Chain A
Amino acid sequence: MPELSIRLAIATLVISSAAGVAEDLAAGDGEAVVDAAAEVAASAVDLGPLGFVVISSVAGVVGALAAGDGAMAGDGEAVVDAAAAVAASAVDLGPLGFDDDLLELLDMFSEYQQIRGSSNALLRQAFFDLSVARRSAGYQWISADMYSGRAQAITTVDVDPIADDITVIYRRRQESCADEVRQEKPREGLRRRLPISETATAVELNDEENDKHNDSDMDEMTSTEKRNSSPSKVRSDDPLLWFGMLVPPALKEAQSGFVNAVGQLVRLAQLKRQLEAKQKALQPMLEKLYSANNAD
């Protein structure tokens, strides 16, 4: 683990620097103390933000002694011991990848904030569209009184406990259309006449298919599938139908906005879980860090 060896090397350097400060202090060499303290601070920067906090506490100890009177300056060994103890806490932090975990937490938090902002914007626009739809259709037509008593979830999530992942699944449009096509297929014996408006399309399709296969049954099936998969087909379980057959366009826009917002909210929920887990893992180490910092 190269990262560990690097951290250990830096920590060793810090300890030796602190010891150097102490020796210079004991010798009463003020300039050497300042130089050595600067070296400690430079090493602390290499250790990252948290290493900096820990190691700067070493510099703090030494600096306080440097500012002290001659009696304290004589106690070089005690300074070395104190510096080594604090620096050892930095070594403890290194193998656990503390800085990396903390940076990961901050990245996740940054993503959380971004998605929170975008989902709020989506919701705001969707609320506005809903208000416009209400104004257009009338309040009583788009209200809680119109909710269906037989609602079935068509937007669900998939939880993967191994990967600790939540993904949103929209079963709208494609799956329902596929179901309807499947229902049509077994009825080979009963042929339904096409409405006049659709006959021309079916004939055209038949002509095209005849050129290829010369099989009329297959052609009619193809035309049925095409009709079912047309975008104008309205799902029977679409919640939009709770509010009537001819809903205002603004309501469709609101629906689209809320669908997008739900996708973002699911991602937010997942990030929240991950942040909480990461926070739980980091809490003991941060407490240790703060207590070490406060002790100085």
Chain B
Amino acid sequence: MAQKNRTLIASIGVEDTMTGLLLAGIGDIDSQQGPNFLNVDDKTDQQTIEKAFTSFTGRKDIAIILINQNIADRIRGILDAYKAPFPTVLEIPSKDHPYDPSKDSVLKRVQLLFGD
């Protein structure tokens, strides 16, 4: 099964989030595919984020992509168009941007389901 090889958790986030998640042990640098994380700062442009996201979704060893909600807003179009079950994309809060339920895709889907 292809999913059996999906063992990694990838991440796109600001420095605090990345440092924390790397401390938790999710970081992996593959000699061929590169790192499974992207540290986003003020200088990181949208294209770089989009490229990293597309790269992570195309990898066969990644099961989950964690992305800061404020960064997800910058690539909302790509995120909304992404429908594949694996890797699963999950938006998480950052230190400076608390979780906003109104931007949660799960919440939006449930509201849509009930016609709100």
Contacts and interface: CB of A to CB of B under 8 A. Distances in A.
A279 B105 CA distance: 12
Q: Chain B at the A interface: mostly helix, strand, loop or mixed?
A: mixed
Contacts of B113: 105, 279, 282-283, 286
* Chain B interface category by residue count: 35 or more
A286 B21 CA distance: 39
A190 to B, nearest CB: 33
A261 B24 CA distance: 9
Contacts of A34: none
A153 interface: yes
A98 interface: no
Contacts of A290: 115
A60 interface: no
A153 B110 contact: no
Nearest to B2: A161
A109 interface: yes
Interface residues of A, number: 62
A144 B7 contact: no
Interface of A is mostly: helix
Contacts of B3: 159-161
A252 to B, nearest CB: 9
Contacts of B7: 153, 156-159, 169
Contacts of B109: 275-276, 279
Contacts of A170: 25
B24 A157 contact: no
A275 B106 contact: yes
Interface in B9-42: 9, 15-16, 18-29, 35-36, 39, 41
15 contacts: A116-B99, A119-B92, A143-B15, A143-B19, A144-B19, A147-B27, A150-B29, A152-B28, A156-B8, A159-B3, A159-B6, A255-B20, A261-B24, A262-B9, A269-B64
Interface of B: 1, 3-4, 6-9, 15-16, 18-29, 35-36, 39, 41, 63-64, 66, 85-86, 88, 90, 92-93, 95, 98-99, 104-106, 109-110, 113-115
Interface of A: 105, 109, 112, 116, 119-120, 123-124, 126-127, 130-131, 142-144, 147-161, 166, 169-172, 238-240, 242, 251, 254-255, 257-259, 261-262, 265-266, 268-270, 272-273, 275-277, 279, 282-283, 286, 290
